[in-house]
């Protein structure tokens, strides 16, 4: 795509293949017009169908600069019916394709995969439980790359491979918490030409015990690299020591079990020991273990330590932002596929807002600024990449 292409033009291109679920004779409003209206309205603070309709009618002249809107602004009922019926997997595919077109993933970029519950999506009357979404967060770019819904009768283990299928992860480091520490998920990441860094907890039984025993035996040996860091803030001082063991080192295979050997491209194991000194005098200690395909001949314990810390950006910069700036947990959009589809729209809006690097205020204030200042809103939509 040309470097002169704007983010909005790229969005229109990548969403043009979206299948319209409506009967043709009832298509009074163009599908891309409805998608475009929704995205712009959500950027400017709308959080439901009535808000989107109200925004559209108030700003119809502005919107017609880049939307057709031949039959005016659709009603909130029309919006609700469309998003209820729209296939979320098709919308997710378009979103992922667009965001990766405007997002330049560098080699070694950490892509954190983590789940989030949309608490307001439950519908007691219809017996519908709140939906759970798995998101992929590019830590360096500060963008959500894609999402997948967790099936009601399943868990993240089934949704993570579906999400990985949507993404181009070549050269990236994929981090996942203990739920995703599965051999088939590790293989999927390796097949994507990426490296994995997977959290290992006690529920992994013998594997956890073996890795723990390995560190007790090999700490501070020639097989181990070490990185020490200190942090201060939020009323505490934290010491972090990261030990990484090179499983590919000469004469090391004598300690590897059959189970460890079954992990695809497993090259290193990591222990992070953290000690928190709290303001009230309490001291908290924690040990965490990780499996990784990262080779210590190509990276260091410091690189792994940094990647582990980068994983938590998905909580602070995505999940927290969606709850505070977009009030996602309070959203009562929940009929049919509407909750899942609206979650995608929020992430598109967040991606456009986050890509505006000139504004120094937070996301919530950027949404208000976009609603008040048409020049700023146009910059958010029409900036080139």
CATH of the domain at 153: 3.90.350.10
- 68-109 pLDDT, tens digit each: 999 999 999 999 999 999 999 999 999 999 998 888 888 999
Of 316, 351, 369, which residue constitutes the final position of a domain? 316
Residues 241 and 300 both lie in one domain: yes
**148 in Cβ contact with 159 (< 8 Å):** yes
Residues 156 and 24 both lie in one domain: no
pLDDT for 257 beyond 50:
yes
pLDDT, mean of residues 11-19 = 93
- Least Cα distance to 349 among 367, 332, 362 occurs for 367
Residue 261 is predicted with a pLDDT of: 79
Of 316, 341, 363, which residue constitutes the final position of a domain? 316
Residue scoring higher pLDDT (25 or 182): 182
Residues 79 and 141 both lie in one domain: no
pLDDT for 241 beyond 90:
yes
Q: How confident is residue 61, by pLDDT bands cut at 50, 70 and 90?
A: very high
Residue 262 is predicted with a pLDDT of: 86
Residues 128 and 83 both lie in one domain: no
- 316-366 pLDDT, tens digit each: 899 999 999 999 988 888 888 999 999 999 999 999 998 887 888 999 999
pLDDT, mean of residues 228-249 = 85
Total number of domains in the chain: 2
Residue 251 is predicted with a pLDDT of: 65
Residues 92 and 136 both lie in one domain: no
Domain that holds residue 136: 108-316
Residues 296 and 147 both lie in one domain: yes
Q: How confident is residue 255, by pLDDT bands cut at 50, 70 and 90?
A: low
Residue 221 is predicted with a pLDDT of: 79
Residues 265 and 369 both lie in one domain: no
Residue 127 is predicted with a pLDDT of: 67
Residue scoring higher pLDDT (118 or 233): 118
Residues 84 and 145 both lie in one domain: no
- 209-229 pLDDT, tens digit each: 989 988 888 887 777 899 999
pLDDT for 1 beyond 90:
no
pLDDT, mean of residues 48-73 = 96
- Contacts of 253-258 with CB under 8 Å at 24 or more apart are 255/214, 255/217, 255/218, 257/210
Say if 322 falls within a structural domain: no
- 118-153 pLDDT, tens digit each: 877 776 676 667 788 999 999 999 999 999 988 865
Residue 151 is predicted with a pLDDT of: 80
The mean pLDDT of the chain is 90
Residue 254 is predicted with a pLDDT of: 58
Residues 263 and 360 both lie in one domain: no
Residue 2 is predicted with a pLDDT of: 46
- 280-317 pLDDT, tens digit each: 878 889 999 999 999 999 999 999 999 999 998 899 89
- Give Dmax over CA atoms of the chain in angstroms: 73
- The rounded distance, in Å, linking the Cα atoms of 90 and 190 is 25
Residues 262 and 127 both lie in one domain: yes
Three-state secondary structure string covering the chain: CCCCCEHHHHHHHHHCCCCCCCCHHHCCCCHHHHHHHHHHHHHCCCCCHHHHHHHHHHCHHHHCCCCCCCCCCCCHHHHHHHHHHCCHHHHHHHHHHHHHHHCCCCCCCEEEEEEEEEHHHCECCCCECCEEEEEEEECCCCEEEEEEEECCCCCHHHHHHHHHHHCCCCCCEEEECHHHCCHHHHHHHHHCCCEEEEEECHHHCHHHHHHHHHHHHHCCCCCEEEEEEEEEECCEEEEEEEEEEECCCCCCHHHCCHHHHCCCCCCEEEEEEEEEEECCCCEEEEEEEEEECCCCCCCCHHHHHHHHHHCCHHHHHHHHHHHHCCCHHHCCCCCCCHHHHHHHHHHHHHHHHHCCCCCCCCHHHHHHHHHHCHHHHHHHHHCEC
Residues 216 and 353 both lie in one domain: no
- For the chain, give the percent of residues with pLDDT over 90: 65
């Amino acid at each position: 795509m040309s470097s002169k292409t704007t983010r909005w033009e790229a969005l229109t291109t990548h969403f043009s293949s979206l299948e319209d679920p409506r009967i043709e004779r009832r298509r009074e409003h163009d599908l891309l017009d409805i998608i475009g209206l929704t995205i712009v309205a959500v950027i400017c603070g709308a959080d439901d169908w009535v808000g989107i309709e109200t925004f559209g009618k108030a700003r119809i002249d502005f919107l017609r600069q880049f939307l057709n809107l031949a039959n005016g602004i659709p009603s909130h009922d029309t919006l609700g019916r469309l998003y209820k019926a729209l296939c979320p997997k098709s919308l997710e595919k378009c979103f992922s394709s667009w965001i990766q077109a405007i997002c330049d993933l560098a080699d070694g970029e950490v892509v954190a995969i983590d789940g989030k519950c949309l608490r307001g999506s439950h519908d007691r009357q219809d017996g519908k439980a709140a939906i759970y979404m798995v998101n992929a967060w590019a830590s360096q770019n500060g963008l959500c790359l894609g999402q997948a819904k967790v099936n009601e009768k399943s868990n993240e283990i089934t949704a993570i491979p579906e999400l990985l299928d949507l993404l181009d992860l070549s050269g990236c480091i994929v981090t996942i918490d203990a739920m995703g520490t599965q051999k088939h998920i590790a293989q999927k990441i390796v097949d994507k030409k990426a490296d994995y860094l997977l959290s290992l907890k006690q529920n992994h039984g013998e594997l956890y015990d073996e890795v723990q025993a390995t560190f007790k035996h090999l700490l501070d040996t020639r097989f181990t690299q070490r990185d020490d860091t200190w942090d201060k803030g939020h009323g505490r001082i934290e010491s972090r020591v990261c030990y990484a063991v090179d499983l590919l080192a000469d004469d090391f295979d004598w300690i590897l079990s059959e189970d460890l050997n079954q992990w695809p491209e497993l090259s290193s194991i990591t222990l992070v020991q953290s000690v928190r000194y709290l303001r009230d005098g309490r001291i908290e200690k924690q040990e965490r273990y990780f499996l990784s395909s990262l080779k210590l001949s190509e990276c260091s314990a410091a690189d792994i330590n940094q990647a582990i810390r980068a994983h938590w950006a998905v909580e602070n910069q995505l999940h927290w932002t969606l709850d505070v700036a977009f009030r996602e947990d309070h959203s009562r959009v929940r009929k049919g596929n509407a909750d899942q589809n609206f979650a995608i729209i929020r992430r598109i809006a967040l991606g456009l807002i986050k890509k505006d690097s000139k504004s120094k205020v937070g996301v919530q204030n950027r949404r208000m600024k976009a609603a008040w200042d048409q020049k700023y809103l146009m910059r958010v939509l029409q900036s080139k990449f």
